[in-house]
């Protein structure tokens, strides 16, 4: 049969077919290798920036001396040396310190967005949208509570959709309907459509969370193939841990099961909705932890006390840092450092809040050390 094919093609034509096929394979291999090289080149400068800024306040090298000193002035000095810009007022007023610290964290995130390659720009923008949504919720809650303008303004930090101009408009809005209209104008039309905050904030918060989730999920599809697997894993794990926080917090506070189910994000990497609903139906935190057997979160039972919401959230924050570190080690030349930077800065914010409040309240060094999340222990 093979001889018949050769005879029908002719020896010369067969050779041409073989050579042509070989060349096609070579071209495809070269193109694939070329795409990888382009991906590495595009991330070279941004990754250098992320490493230069760093995430020092999740390392024992920086945190241990601060814990030993138990001195707020040394914390402020270290923050300044590490690129945090705090006013004198922030060092005198704990509320203003917290506000400026959160603002600095958001500024670092915005710098990450401005320097990241086009291939992950949409995803980084969607990641920042989480902070815009947080500010939108704060504005609505403040207006609903009838807080004074200066109080409301002190709670709002410019991100992207919610910029300085928008904050001024929100602060000066006459009532809730006008506040809603402003938020719809700047990008929250979809989640706020048909909602009335005077009937309660819960439906609005669920809609906003689901809107951000969908934007993140859609953005993953548009990441370049060379980085998509890593970003998809990162996003899936983030959604898992966000849902676990919702479930554990809700069970701890005795939230109605139907209400808690409504609050869930669609799904993550390992925890489908039926699994999360089973955890909710289990009736308690201990029982819900048992439902995690067979997943990568099964060690939650051994790592955190069911009686402590703080323990559980600390475990989940540490787990997300662990995920980002793993993703970075496997994608160190492209998207890994960006994802690690985004999570690292949020963990820094958490550590610094715990550290400064602990020092103010006279909490012992040993307890504060236990409360820290450090990459050294991952």
Section 331-335 average pLDDT: 95
Answer yes or no: are the C-beta atoms of 374 and 62 closer than 8 Å.
no
Provide the CA 13 distance to its chain's centre, in angstroms: 58
Q: What is the pLDDT of residues 19-76, one digit of tens each?
A: 555 555 554 444 444 455 567 788 999 999 999 999 999 999 999 999 999 999 999 9
In a domain, 33, yes or no: yes
Best CA proximity match to 331, nearest among 66, 113, 117: 117
DSSP 307: T
Prediction pTM value = 0.89
In a domain, 44, yes or no: yes
Q: What spatial distance separates the first Cα and last Cα of the chain, rounded to whole Å?
A: 62
Q: What is the full DSSP assignment across 319-333?
A: HHHHHHHHHHHHSTT
Best CA proximity match to 197, nearest among 181, 214, 213, 215: 181
Burial class (CB within 10 angstroms; exposed 0-12, middle 13-18, buried 19+) of 214: middle
In a domain, 140, yes or no: no
Measured between alpha carbons, how far is 342 from 46 in angstroms, rounded to an integer? 13
Section 303-315 average pLDDT: 86
For residue 377, name the pLDDT band (cuts at 50, 70, 90).
confident
In a domain, 327, yes or no: no
In a domain, 282, yes or no: no
pLDDT at site 267: 86
Maximum average pLDDT range among 6-15, 167-176, 248-257 = 167-176
pLDDT at site 215: 98
Answer yes or no: are the C-beta atoms of 213 and 266 closer than 8 Å.
yes
Question: Which one is predicted more confidently, 54 or 378?
Answer: 54
pLDDT at site 29: 47
pLDDT at site 24: 56
Range of the domain at 11: 1-53
In a domain, 36, yes or no: yes
pLDDT at site 2: 46
Q: What is the pLDDT of residues 132-161, one digit of tens each?
A: 999 999 999 999 999 999 999 999 999 999
State the total domains in the chain.
Answer: 1
Q: What is the pLDDT of residues 195-205, one digit of tens each?
A: 998 888 999 99
In a domain, 317, yes or no: no
In a domain, 94, yes or no: no
Best CA proximity match to 333, nearest among 39, 29, 118: 39
Q: In whole numbers, what is the pLDDT of the chain averaged over residues?
A: 90
Best CA proximity match to 216, nearest among 130, 133, 126, 132: 126
Which residue reads 């200066």 in tokens?
A: 150
């Amino acid at each position: 049969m093979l001889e018949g094919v050769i005879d029908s093609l002719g020896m010369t034509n067969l050779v041409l077919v073989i050579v042509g096929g070989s060349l096609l394979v070579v071209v495809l291999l070269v193109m694939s290798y070329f795409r990888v090289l382009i991906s590495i080149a595009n991330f070279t400068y941004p990754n250098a920036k992320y490493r230069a800024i760093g995430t020092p306040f999740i390392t024992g090298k920086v945190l241990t001396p601060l814990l030993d000193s138990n001195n707020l002035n040394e914390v402020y000095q270290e923050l300044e040396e590490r690129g945090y810009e705090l006013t004198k007022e922030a060092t005198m007023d704990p509320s203003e310190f917290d506000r400026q610290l959160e603002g600095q964290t958001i500024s670092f995130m915005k710098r990450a967005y401005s320097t990241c390659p086009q291939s992950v720009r949409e995803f980084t923008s969607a990641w920042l949208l989480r902070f815009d949504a947080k500010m939108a919720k704060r504005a609505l809650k403040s207006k609903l509570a009838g807080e004074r303008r200066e109080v409301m303004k002190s709670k709002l930090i410019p991100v992207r959709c919610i910029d300085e101009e928008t904050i001024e408009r929100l602060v000066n809005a006459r009532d809730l309907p006008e506040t809603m209209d402003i938020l719809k104008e700047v990008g929250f039309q979809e989640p706020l459509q048909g909602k009335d905050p005077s009937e309660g904030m819960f439906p609005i918060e669920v809609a906003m969370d689901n809107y951000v989730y969908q934007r993140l999920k859609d953005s993953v599809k548009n990441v370049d193939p060379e980085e998509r697997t890593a970003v998809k894993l990162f996003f899936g794990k983030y959604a898992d841990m966000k849902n676990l926080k919702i479930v554990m917090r809700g069970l701890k506070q005795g939230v109605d099961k139907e209400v808690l189910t409504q609050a869930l994000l669609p799904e993550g990497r390992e925890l489908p909705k039926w699994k999360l609903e089973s955890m909710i139906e289990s009736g308690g935190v201990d029982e819900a932890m048992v439902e995690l057997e067979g997943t990568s979160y099964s060690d939650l039972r051994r790592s955190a006390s069911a009686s402590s919401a703080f323990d559980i959230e600390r475990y989940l924050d540490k787990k997300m840092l662990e995920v980002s570190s793993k993703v970075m080690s496997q994608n160190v030349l492209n998207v890994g450092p960006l994802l690690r930077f985004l999570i690292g800065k949020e963990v820094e914010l958490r550590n610094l809040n715990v550290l400064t409040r602990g020092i103010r309240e006279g909490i012992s060094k040993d307890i504060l050390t236990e409360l820290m999340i450090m990459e050294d222990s991952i």
